[in-house]
Structure 1
Amino acid sequence: MLKGIPQILSPELLKVLCEMGHSDTIVIADGNFPAESMGKNGKVLRLDGHGVPEILEAILKVFPLDSYVEEPVSLMEVVPGDKVETPIWNTYKEIVSKYDGRGEKCVGNIERFKFYDKAKEAYAIIATSEKALYANVLLQKGVVVE
């Protein structure tokens, strides 16, 4: 165990976050996301039993968001015609606002299949047990300046 590191961040996940360089991306995927098929070219980490908000919060405590892009946090858009509410997005925006001075302005949406394309290119995908629909988040890493 380490001091100051959220316990939800496993040694394997900490290693991945540390290995990632500027502009690399990581996906925190909900329970319905096809993590294994999307992550064939990267790493898939399992955090079963946890939801996306708690993982997002823990990661952002140690992970800088990219300051060179307007929206380093991307959410999967709801497919037109799907009657789905996404209140979890407000939770994500609140969490992001705690760790990035741009607040919710640095959170954007990506069409579903474009999100899948970006997920296939991500450095890693974290598979969770999140039950909310359209609860996937893509983070783009920034530079540590401290």
Structure 2
Amino acid sequence: MGLLKGIDPILTADLLWVLRAMGHGDRLAIVDCNFPAAQVAKSTVTGKDPIILTVPLPQAVSAICELLPLDYFEESSVFYMAPQDGVAMPPEGNAVIDELKSAIATVSSPDVSIAPVERFQFYEEAKKCFAIVQTLERRPYGNAILVKGVIGPDGKDLKPN
């Protein structure tokens, strides 16, 4: 595998193809190692096997968001898996979600809206995604969906006025 200047080496050729092939409004699921990625990936737009990244969720999201514009025209452009009603988020889950939010704020913008999606609904939303990226994240609820936005004429994320 060859490296490219300015592109994080964890971003594989398959993932770069997916990011380039996605259009405005398409969604990308980035999931933990316990997520049923192979099964869910069959229902995605590409229908291909999940792309495997051997890093934790926050590192994967950070590298992906260096290239992928987020959709600032949506109420939320990042979603994370949350427990179903009556189940408390474990401390490790809170930690991974806090790191996800920090990664998004660092590489995108602090005004990106990040919203929870109940666990079983998250599985259904992941099936509608363009593709699945599976990480080596082992903490519970280490799953996110990113909504692709638009790159404006100036080469930056397009935002509403």
TM-score by length of 1: 0.92
Q: Retained in 2: the 8 A contact 1:13–1:45?
A: no
2:87 counterpart letter in structure 1: G
Residues of 2 paired with 1:125 and 1:81: CA distance?
26
RMSD: 1.5
- CA offset at residue 82 of structure 1? 4.3
Q: 1:25 aligns with which of 16, 20, 27?
A: 27
Residues of 2 paired with 1:140 and 1:41: CA distance?
18
The residue that corresponds to 1:56 in the other structure is 61
Structure 1 position 71 matched with structure 2 position 76: yes
The runs of 5 or more residues in structure 2 that have no matched partner are: 156-161
Q: How does 1:76-95 map onto structure 2 within 5 Å?
A: 76-79=81-84, 80-82=86-88, 84-85=90-91, 86-95=94-103
Structure 1 position 133 matched with structure 2 position 140: yes
- CA offset at residue 75 of structure 1? 0.4
- CA offset at residue 123 of structure 1? 0.4
2:123 counterpart letter in structure 1: Y
Percent of matched pairs sharing the same residue: 34
Q: How many residues of Structure 1 are paired with residues of Structure 2 in the alignment?
A: 145
- CA offset at residue 51 of structure 1? 1.2
The residue that corresponds to 2:158 in the other structure is none
TM-score by length of 2: 0.84
Runs of 4+ in 1 over 4 A off after TM superposition: none
